[in-house]
Structures are given as C-alpha cells and as structure tokens.
Amino acid sequence: HPGFFDRAGPFPLADVARAVGADLAAGADPALAISDVRPLADAGASHVSFLDNRKYAAQLATTQAGACLIQPMAAALVPAPTVALLTKAPYRGFALALHLFYPKASWPRVAGDSGVPVDPTAEIEPGVVIEPGAVVGPGASIGRGSRISAGAVVGYRVAIGRDSFIGPQATIVHALVGDRVIIHSGVRIGQDGFGFAMGRDGHLKVPQIGRVIIQDDVEIGANSCIDRGALKDTIIGEGTKIDNLVQIGHNVIIGRHCVIVAQCGLSGSSELGDFVVMGGQAGLVGHIKVGAGAQIAGGSHAKDDVPAGARMGGTPAKPFKQWAREIAAVERLAKRQGRNEEPEQA
C-alpha cells in the first residue's frame, strides 16, 4: 500500500534541530541526512525519534535511530552512534518534527476533487454495490460482493476487502479493511488520534500519520470510533466483535476474537491479547497490556497490565474475587453501622 501521507525531506540534522527548537549534542554531524520520524524501536540510521517517558528507556538503549529528542538531564542515556537532540520538551519537538516531515497530515485527503461520487481512479471489483449518496475517494479499492450503503464515505486510498458491509453514514479514512467485515451505521474509522503536546502557551497538535488495520470477520457496532495510529497502526484482530459507542484510541492493538461491549474506552497504545472480553463501560488507561483470555467486568477500569486469563473488576481493576470480597465487606460494615445508629428523635 502506498500509504496515506506524502513525506517531505530528507533534511540535514541541523535543519531538523532548528525546526524543533533543539540543540545538537557535542560532536554531532549537522549534515547528517534525516528522512523520517519513527518510534525508538523501529527507527534506523536516517530517522529521528524521541524519549519523553522513562518507561521506554529500554527501547532507547537498543535504538538504531540517527537522532533522538531528549531532555538534557537524560542525554547520557542516548547510545552511540545516535545523536542527542537536546530540548526541554521532547514530545513537543516530536510534534514539530512531524509537522516538518508531514506538512499536510493535519488536513487529510478524503474524497478528492473529481466532482463525482465515485472517483474514476477507484478500483471497484465486479459485484460491488454502491448505494445512492455514497462517496468513494481517489485510489480507493473495494472487493467483490461488498456493499457501500447510502451516505457512507470510503476515503482516499482506503481498501475494503470482499463481502464486507459498510453501513449508512459510516466514514472510513486512512484504513485497510479485510474480508467479511461488518461496519454499522455511523461508525468513524481512521480519524486523528487525540494527540497534543501540552504547554503553557497552548496545545500543539501532533500529526497522526499511522493507519487503521481491520482484519477479516470483524464486526463494529453503530457510532463507534477507531482512531488511526500516530506513527504505527491501530489494529483490530480477526473475528473481533465491537459493540455500539466504543472508543478505540490511536496505536491500540486488539487481538483475535475479542469481545468489547458498549461504551468501552481503550486509551492510546493499550494492547489486548486474543479472546479478551471487556464488559460495558469498561476502560483501559494508555500503554498497558491485557493478556489473552482476560475478562474485565462492566464499569471496571484497568490502570496496570492484566495477566492472561485474569478476571478483573472495580476501579482501579483488581482480581474479581478480591473485588467481590471488598464490596461484601463494605456492605457488612454499612449494615453494622446502621444498626448502631440511634433512632431519630420525633
């Protein structure tokens, strides 16, 4: 797939440092060519990355990045031959680097300017049904047996597999969708993730240049939202079933055959193993992992990694039996206190 965003550059390291407001560490080659922005784990010698969270210090130790945005006090953590780009705000510098390399990422292409509902460059296999009012953008592809319902939008370079159903008023951009996928009405897929470099002078938007990958046999309920990845992809594993009104943040990875019930919220970069079940209104904080086969009770919220096969409940989520004992203990305490209270005077 050719991707969804055009990349500028390459730029000399000195130009990158100037654009992001960083200082080059001593001995750095200002002419080093930088071609892209990548995460620490994926970066190569021509890429710039960043560290803003000590949780990822292990990735910094093994990174192959050509340069890394980092606070001066942590510069000693940068391994050779990676160059340290010194800044008090590495995440803000990362955002500025993305603006430099992807200047159009904040205004993504959707339908093009051909003036017709189905762009002539779209590849439509025989047997596709496109209902009145649907829009198919330039470079999109739709496999045979799929139906695009009235008012749906299939954006620029989006790929829809075979025998899939896109419901009315659904919007799909920056996404690759597999076979036999059902996307119900009002679903929003591939919009920006919630990424801002917060600061006293305002909040700088962080361009989101990843994609959404939806594997085969997935079903997504009405009015659910799945954000595209920031640098990597948001991934929904095959056979997973998602209920109505679910929010899935950027870079989330969901395994195969998971069940996610209505009004759940998965924060950015959280990961679910295969066959995970999340009850209604359950939630995850960002950057945690839920092991295969785990279950999170409705209305519960996990803030730490969840082991495979665990059953969790409460806020913050804890093992289900412990949670149930705590609730029972509170109920018993409340009853004893009620019996000890003096009756109200008339």
pLDDT by residue (tens digit) across 114-141? 889 999 999 999 999 999 999 999 999 9
pLDDT under 50: residue ranges of the chain: none
Task: Tell me how far apart the alpha carbons of residues 141 and 288 are, in angstroms, rounded to a whole number.
Answer: 34
- Separation CA 249–CA 265 (nearest Å): 8
Q: 225, 247 in Cβ contact below 8 A?
A: yes
Closest CA relative to residue 248, chosen from 274, 271, 270, 225: 225
* Gap between the Cα atoms of 193 and 212, Å rounded: 11
Q: How far apart are CA 139 and CA 4, in angstroms?
A: 10
pTM of the model: 0.92
User: What's the pLDDT score for residue 342?
Assistant: 59
Angle between helices 90-101 and 13-20 (to 10 degrees): 120
Q: State the CB neighbour count (10 A cutoff) for residue 341.
A: 7
Q: Is the backbone of residue 45 left (phi > 0), alpha (psi -120 to 50) or beta? A: alpha
Query: How confident is the model at residue 168, as a pLDDT?
Result: 98
Share of the chain above pLDDT 90, in %: 86
| pLDDT number for residue 334 | 87
Q: Transcribe 70-89 into DSSP letters.
A: E-GGGGGGSPTTSEEEE-S-
**What mean pLDDT value characterizes the chain?**
94
pLDDT digits (tens, 9 = 90+) for 253-303: 999 999 999 999 999 999 999 999 999 999 999 999 999 999 999 999 999
Res 343: pLDDT: 60
Q: Residue 219: exposed, middle, or buried by beta-carbon count in 10 A (0-12, 13-18, 19+)?
A: middle
Cα–Cα distance measured from residue 310 to residue 318, given in angstroms and rounded to the nearest whole number: 9
What are 99's two structure tokens?
């603006």
Q: For residue 37, what are the CA distances in angstroms to 46, 136, 332? A: 9, 30, 56
Catalytic residue list: 250
Name the burial class of residue 329, with classes exposed (0-12), middle (13-18) and buried (19+) by CB atoms within 10 angstroms of its CB: exposed
Looking at the DSSP bridge assignments, the partners of residue 99 are none
Buried b (16+ CB within 10 A) or exposed e, 129-160: ebeeebbbbbbbbbbebbbbbebbbbbbbbbb
Name the one residue in this structure whose structure tokens are 């955002």.
95
Phi, psi of 95 (to 5 degrees): -60, -45
Q: What Rg do the C-alpha atoms of the chain give, in angstroms?
A: 24
The pairing of strands 259-260 and 277-278 is: parallel
pLDDT of the residue at 118:
95
In Å, what is the CA distance from 1 to each residue of 4, 12, 140, 212?
9, 28, 11, 13
pLDDT score for 115: 82
- Contact indicator for 271, 289 with CB cutoff of 8 Å: yes
CB 88 within 8 A of CB 70: no
**SS3 state of residue 101:** helix
Cα(91)–Cα(204) distance, integer angstroms: 10
User: Amino acid letter at 151?
Assistant: G
